Every structure is written in structure tokens, then in C-alpha cells.
Structure 1
Amino acid sequence: MEKIAVLSDIHGNSTALAAVLADAKAQGATEYWLLGDIFLPGPAGDELLEFLQDVPVTVSIRGNWDDVVLALKERKATGIVDAKQAEHLALYRQGQYLLETLSPAGLDYLSQQRATAHVTKSGLNIQLSHNFPDKNHGGGLYWQSPQEEFDRLCADHAVAVAIYGHVHVQTMRYATSGQLILNPGSIGQPFWTWEALRQNQRAQYALLTFDGQGLAGVDFRKVAYDVKREYAIAKERGLPYLELYQELLETGVLHTHDNELLAQYNDRYGYEEEVRAYFSRQDD
């Protein structure tokens, strides 16, 4: 019997990741699969990779936020800034925050990640992706999405189990052809639309058990962690959009695409000036 911890969407929350790794170890996990979005908007950088180096991560997929970080690294090299919308400026400012502290080894780690992967366990062909195998960003795989969108995950009929991340919602469902589809949820940003469920902001991951007959169990784990400690770390490190991060930690509400609100923060804290100064300084 083998237990595998499936981790996704850490989003810079080292406190939540530490709690999840401790829980997975206590549950007897012997292997770890990582489905991307390691950094941002939380404050953690290289320490996330240090945590992950302490466990046997055998599969690691690149997420859309990971691509954003790599793209902003290139923008830093060219000095190009195009932040016409408040949400784009917010991405620049958060990327700046990470790039100012993340080591070259951390950036190399991101650049070396695959877009998708296939593994075989107990005779099952398992596909791992952040979102769709050919598109790691955008919508399409929320619980209310049309069945044909989920069927895209299993277009390769050799796949018996498709596992994806990105939408931050623990999910189990099936393709039209019968393949199993799973989402482990999010470690750093669990997402709920139903208000009563939104009170449960514990970190999420999935623990898969394999035996000689196949997939013997799927355990959607929820792990409590010290939210106040995570906020204190963010405050101490000068995380931009700190108030919004606190709201996210406490309520699960995210404002990534709220241009009106983000514009207020950009103006209040002078983020546009900071971004333009940083990305025009080609000194790295």
C-alpha cells in the first residue's frame, strides 16, 4: 500500500504548507505530487522550496502564477512595463516583491517545471496538470462548468485518473467516458462560494492510497494552521496589499480582478511609482 500527498496552490503561504506537510507525514505519505502556483500573493519565497526539499516530491507542475513570475523576470531584464489596468499593476507589484528576494535557484526551479505529467500507479495511467494539460490559466474547470470542459481533461483515453489544481476547490467527479477526475484543493487559498462553507479556511490537500487493485482511497484533507502567525509574517516582511491578504486569510475572499479596489490601493501606497522605478532599473 502506498500513500501519495497531492499538493496544489500554495500561493506563498509557508505557514499553511508547513501544517500540511506535517499532516501528510503523520498520515504516512511516502510520495508528494505538486500541481503548481507555489508563490504569491503570500509573503514566502525560498523557504517554500526548502520545505519541499525535505519531502520526496516526485512530480512538480508549473502553474499560471509561476508563469507570471517568470514573465516578470523577463520584463525586469527588458525594462518593459505595461500596467494599464489596476489588476495588471498589482501583478507587477507582487512580482516585484518576490523578485527582490527570491534566489536565482528559486527562479531556476520554476523554469524547469513541466506543464503536465503522467505517472503510473497500481496499473493506472494518471495525468497531472495545473489546469488543462495545454492551458494552465483561465476558467473552464469550476464545479459549474459544462461536462465537455471536464471531458477535455480526459481526451487521452489512456488516462484513467486526471488530477488538476488551479480552481482551489476540492473536487471529485467523472468524465463522460468514466475516467476519474480529482482536484486536491488549495493549501494557501481554499475557495468557497457558499457562505456557510466559507468559514472553513483550513489548508487543503488530497491523500491518495494505492494498493494492488488500484486506487484504494481518496482523502480530502483539511488542516488547521496559525492564520495570525501567517499574517504576522506578511506584515513583518512588508507584503504589498497586506490588508487584502489579511482578508483573504480570514475570509477566503480574493480581489485579484477587482480593478476598482486595487486602484485605490495602488494610489494609496504609490505602487505604480515603485513598479516603474523597479522595472526600469536594469541592474540585476
Structure 2
Amino acid sequence: MRLLCLSDIHGHADALAAVLAAADRRGYSKLLVAGDLCFPGPEPLETWRRLTQVQAVTVQGTGDRALATLDIAKVVPRSEHERTRLSRLSEVRTELGQLILARLSRLPTTHRIDLEDGSELLLVHGSPVDPFEPFSHEMTDEEMFALVGDDPADIIVCGGSHVPFDRMVQGVRIINVGSVGEAPSGAGITGGHADATIIETHKAGIEVEQIAVPLGKAA
């Protein structure tokens, strides 16, 4: 099985299209997306449509939960940045419509896959202890293992922190797939890149390849 693993698209449909085009050339059997699908980028509806078209397996991220459940009327912005984000949240809700918002609200926070070698893969936006608290590449092994908790998964595929990494922590392999739409390099900006991870699974274990897909002028 060949898994294409993404996260944090944030409504950047063009970046998603670039990643899918690159992945199509390599080939993959299933698309896994670790949340934060549509907000706050410029094309939330097209992003949702494309993920639906390719039958992506998705879990709920922080932005997805906010879109589906946040009561904007009860939020008092503390800065111009927060005011702008709330305004954009309202715009994205309008563009997506109630049916898609309801589907976002029903997205699971985790998804589990049994692999050919007998191990279990967990897809989550953040971490097993808290689906909305991400692992960071800057954490110590002890800090990471605290977020693993007593979850039985052998492999954790996650996003949230926007920086890809692949680490073994006390017998658990943690693979952060980075960000399609808001990578620190400037994904969604001309000349930046989007992150993607390909996981090849077989009876002997897994092989992991983390790639940067050029965007804009860098493509």
C-alpha cells in the first residue's frame, strides 16, 4: 500500500493541486489528510471539492473545528489580527455552506489503519493525548512521549506544527507531514513549497519519503 499523507492545506487549493499532481506521477493508493483543510486560505470550497473528488481520508483539525463550532458572536477580538481572522472565518463559512460545515463537524479526530506487517497507524491532527495539541520538531523525546500517552499505535501520522519530521520515540514512530498551505518556507506564496509524505507499507515494515513540492515560480 502506498499512502500519500498531507496536512494543513488551509484552503490553498492551488498548493493542493500541485501536490496531487506530483503524487500522481509517483503513484499512490490512498490519500490521508491530518486536518486543517479549508481555513483561512483563498479557496476553501475548491479545496473541499478536490479532497472529496479524490476520496481523501480526513480527520478534524483545529481550523475545521473552529469553522464548524465556534460562536463568533461570543468572541471578543483582542487585536486587529484576531478581528481579521474572525472576519475570514465568517467568509469561509458562507462559501462552504451549511452542508459542508455539518460534514466538517462530524469529521473524526482520529483514524486507524492496520498495516501489512501487523503494526497500527494512527492519523491525527495533533497528538493521541489531545487531537488539537501538535507534536513539534523542537520537543524533547520526553515531551513527545507525554503526548503519545497510552495509545497503542506503532506509527503516528500528524500535522499541526507545519514542520515535517520523522522520529522514533520510545518505540513509537512519529511522522509529522508538515504543511501544504502554510509551510514556513512560504507555501501558498510564489516561490515557496508544499510538504508531502509518502509512506510505502509492506510485510517487512514501512518506507517513508518526505518531499517538498515546488510552488509558483519554483515549480
TM-score when normalising by structure 2: 0.88
Pair 1:40–1:23, CA change in 2 (3 A): same
Instruction: Specify the code of the residue in structure 2 equivalent to 1:54.
Output: Q
Contact 1:46 1:103 in 2 (8 A): no
* Partner residue in 2 for 1:249: none
Alignment counterpart, residue 89 of structure 1, candidates 80, 83, 91: 83
Equivalent in the alignment of 2:58: 60
Cα distance in 2 between the residues matched to 1:10 and 1:114: 17
Q: Is residue 113 of structure 1 aligned with residue 111 of structure 2?
A: no
8 A contact 1:119–1:127 mirrored in 2: yes
- Bigger proportion of residues as helix: 1
Q: CA distance change for structure 1 residues 152 and 118 in 2, over 3 Å: closer, same or farther?
A: farther
> Structure 1 regions of 5+ residues with no counterpart?
193-198, 229-284
8 Å contact from structure 2 (residues 34, 58) kept in 1: yes
TM-score under structure 1 length normalisation: 0.69
Aligned partners of 1:227 and 1:87: how far apart in 2?
A: 29
Which residue number corresponds to residue 212 of structure 2? 222
1:132-163 CA-to-partner distances (Å, cap 9, x unmatched) read: 22424356x22221222211343336321111
Choose the corresponding residue for 1:127, options 122, 128, 146.
122
Gaps of 5+ in 2: none
Q: Give the RMSD, CA atoms, in angstroms.
A: 2.2
CA distance 1:137–1:90, change in 2 (3 Å): farther
Equivalent position of 1:244 in the other structure: none
Matched, 1:210 2:204: no
Looking at structure 1, the residues matched to 82 and 133 of structure 2 have their Cα atoms a distance apart, in angstroms, of 15
> Which stretch has the larger CA shift, 25-34 or 63-72?
63-72
Q: Provide closer, same or farther for how the CA distance between residues 14 and 88 of structure 1 changes in structure 2, counting only shifts above 3 A.
A: same
Instruction: Work out the number of aligned pairs and report it.
Output: 213
The 3 A distance-change label for structure 1 pair 227 and 42 is farther
Distance 1:166 1:81, change over 3 A: closer
Superposition pairs for residues 1-284 of structure 1, below 5 Å?
2-57=1-56, 59-72=57-70, 74-75=71-72, 79-122=73-116, 123-138=118-133, 141-156=135-150, 158-175=152-169, 177-191=170-184, 201-215=192-206, 217-226=207-216
Higher strand share: 2
Q: Secondary structure at the match of 2:174?
A: strand
Bigger radius of gyration, 1 or 2?
Answer: 1
